[in-house]
Amino acid sequence: MSEKEITFAEFAKQQDSQINAEFTETFDKIIQEFKGLINSNSNVNEQLVLACSLLNSSIQLNKALLEKLKENEK
């Protein structure tokens, strides 16, 4: 059985696709949590605290994605 050789460009594209899929899945979870928060019966102060936490998670996720993409460019 012979192994298929792939070019660096193909490998990088696969890596970018995998990173993008992981990012999208995690970001989707954050969005669903935020939607659940908006529809919850908790008071406004609790909602704001949780919303800030979710926003911070989103920012950290974006930073992690940017770092992974920078690593793949090397």
Model confidence pLDDT, tens digit, residues 34-64: 788 777 776 877 878 888 888 888 888 888 8
Structure confidence at residue 1 (pLDDT): 45
Q: Has residue 15 got a pLDDT over 80?
A: no
Q: Has residue 65 got a pLDDT over 70?
A: yes
Q: Which of 3-12, 25-34, 48-57 has the lowest mean pLDDT?
A: 3-12
Query: 37: closest CA among 28, 27, 46?
Result: 46
**CB-CB contact of 27 with 54 (8 Å):** no
Q: Which of 21-30, 39-48, 60-69 has the lowest mean pLDDT?
A: 39-48
- For residue 29 the two structure tokens come to 């979870």
Handedness of CA 36, 37, 38, 39 (dihedral sign): positive
Full DSSP string of 2-60: PPPP--HHHHHHHHHHHHHHHHHHHHHHHHHHHHHHHTS-S-HHHHHHHHHHHHHHHHH
